Each structure stands twice: as structure tokens, then as C-alpha cells.
Chains A and B, each alone.
Chain A
Amino acid sequence: MFEQWSLFVLAFMGFVFLGFLIYLLGNRKSVKEEMKFETYTCGEPFPKVSVSTENFYHAIKRALGVKDLRSYHSGKLSDYLMWIVIGTVIVVLLMVIWV
């Protein structure tokens, strides 16, 4: 099943190395033109930012409707038990119908 695996791994590592080389070359060039960055952002100092975990993939969450999915996980034991009963009925019914 994995006859050509080593070839694949070698090729993958080769591409990673190539990518690293390109990154190094690109990085060296960007250091020389460091001032250009400030002009691009209209001269103002660029603040060091990081995305809050709360806001990570906010757009995706809204698009996929994950928030609706989350509302079914209320943390209440009675809700969990309801899901278990529903699930069991479905499994038993499907098993009987399936055969």
C-alpha cells in the first residue's frame, strides 16, 4: 500500500526545504526595505496585534451556524438526558428497520 511512500516523503521534504530557501531569500530582501512598510501604512507606527481567542473565526462561526449548534449544549443534565433518549430511540428503530 505504501510502496512509493519514501519517494513521497523525500519529495515532500524537498518542497519544504525549497519553501524554506525561498522564505529565507524573501526575508533577506524585506529587511533592506524596512522603511517602506511605514510609508505603506501612512507613516503611523504599526501596533503589535494578536487576535483574541474569543474572536477567532468569528465570521466562520456565523456562516456555519455553529452558534445555533452551541445552543443545544446548554450544560443542563436534563437536556443531555433528553438527547440520550432521542438518540437511543433513533438507534433502536433504525437497527430494527435496517434489518
Chain B
Amino acid sequence: MDTVNIKELNERIQKESAFVDILSMEISKVIVGQKHLVENLLIGLLAGGHILLEGVPGLAKTLAINTLASSVNADFNRIQFTPDLLPADVLGTLIYSQKSEQFQIKKGPIFANFILADEINRSPAKVQSALLEAMQEKQVTIGDQTFKLPEPFLVMATQNPIEQEGTYPLPEAQVDRFMLKVVVSYPKKEEEKLIIRMNNSGSFPKANAVLTPEDIIKARDVVKDVYMDEKIERYIVDIVYATRTPEEYGLGKLKDLIAYGGSPRASISLAMASKAYAFIKRRGYVIPEDVRAVCYEVLRHRIGLTYEAEAENITTENIISEVLNAVEVP
């Protein structure tokens, strides 16, 4: 039997993941509270997955990714999605230069390590498709030339849940490309008090660059090495299957509430996010707690609800809770 020395594995992870604490500390200098958001940003960063953020305006979504970019010493671009935005405005285009009498490539704002696609649902499908294709392929073609996107490449898209008029909701197939969907909530009272103080003091703290993009790429390789037992794999598959065929897991009552369950990409994302979470927790192996910790973020945008569920105000979070309460933990 191929054995792993748990002590050795943990020691390695302890060493390699030391930057997580430093990074978290640096981000927390600027971002008050929102630990959940920061933790999920790190999971997305380490697992190589993009993040869809949902939350009302003013919850430090932009500030969070800006601070992360500053901490990693990486390029950061913000793209405000508007109804008149065109794919070329995101990806780049060919511009005719009168001086050189040639078409020159003008790269779009997507050429950065960290992208904040603000209010992604305000732009029509063609712009969303352009961004999501780039997210998936990690390359962009302008004219007859294809350009690789820089590594690490992390897109954090936001959408406002309270405004629906004049928006173009992301199709299910495109939402599936986001590894995590994080719902950002309001800060606590004490945290909000601190935010007021920080803003009123006039000297707003800035995050220092404590990492390089290369460190992140290296860390991603280590995350891939985090050990995931076959029992955990089966647990992940059981959870995803329970969203597809709930009646097989004694959840017959959910059958009429779920239009479609998680895709195989959900299983992959759940496994990757669990590994990243185990890494953040400085463990060299995945335990069921890791899976459960990231389950809501990975699955909430991948489960389709029926009209019956919507009529009864049942959310995907309710479905995930039911699934986690029914699937046996290894």
C-alpha cells in the first residue's frame, strides 16, 4: 500500500501554506470583517477557480479584490459592465495606425491577473460570453493572434441581487464556469463601527505586496498535492448525485423542487475547493469538514430550482442543507 507519512505531509503543508496567514493579515488591514469573503477569495486563488459574488452595493467587494491584487503584487483591472459594452471593450481589438499604416493590437482590460467584472449581469450575452470564454480557455484571440492570459488569472464577477430590471441574468451554462458563488452579507455592528472610524480617520490603510504571482502558482501546485482519499471522493460524488437524484438518498421530497442538479464540473470544483480549503487550514489531506465548508459556495449556483420551489421560497441553500443532512459522512 502506498503510504503517506502524515507528519511529513503536514510539515510540508505547514511550510508551504505559511503565506496564507501573512496574506490574510495583510488583507485584514484593509478589509474589516468579511472573513468569509476573504477566505473564499483565497480558495478561488489557490484552486484556480473564478468567483461570482452576489451582494448589495457597498460591501467592499471591489476593495477586497483590489487589496488582494495589491497584496500579491499582481495586475488588477476593473471592468464595469454596462448595456452598451462590447466584447472588444473587454478582450481588445485591432486598431489601424495611420503612422505605421498597419493594424495594431490593443489588448483589453482582461489582460491582468485579477479582474473585477463589476455587475456582470448589466451587459448583454455577447459580452458575458466573451469574458466567460476567456475565463475557461485562459486565452484570448484578437484578429488572427491568440494571447495567453497571465497567470494567476482570477475573475471575480459581481451581481446585484436586488435589481433585476435591465439586466441580463447569466445563463446556467455560464454560471457553471464560476467555481464559487459567494453571497456577501452586511458586516457586523462592531465591524461597521470600525469601518466608519477607518474612513473618518483620513489615513486609509493600504495593503503591502507580500507575495508574487509566482508564489501563487507554486502554491497551486502544492494544493494539487493535498491528499484526497477515495472515501472523500465518494462523499463528494454522493453529495453531487444527491442533487441530481435526491430520491436515491431518501430525499424524495426534493425531487419536485430540483430542476437540475450539479454537473460533473460541480464535482471537480468541490474537490478542488476542498483541497484549497484544507491547504488554508494547513492540512495535507482533505477531511469531510473541508467538503462541507465549501459545499454551499460550490453548489448554490449549480442547482436549478423548479417553479414549485420558488413558489415555496425554497432556496438552493435549503436544498444543500437537506443534502448535507442526508448524505452519510465517511
Q: Is the pairing of A and B real?
A: no
The interface of chain A, by Cβ under 8 A from chain B, is none
Residues of B near any A CB (own CB < 8 A)? none
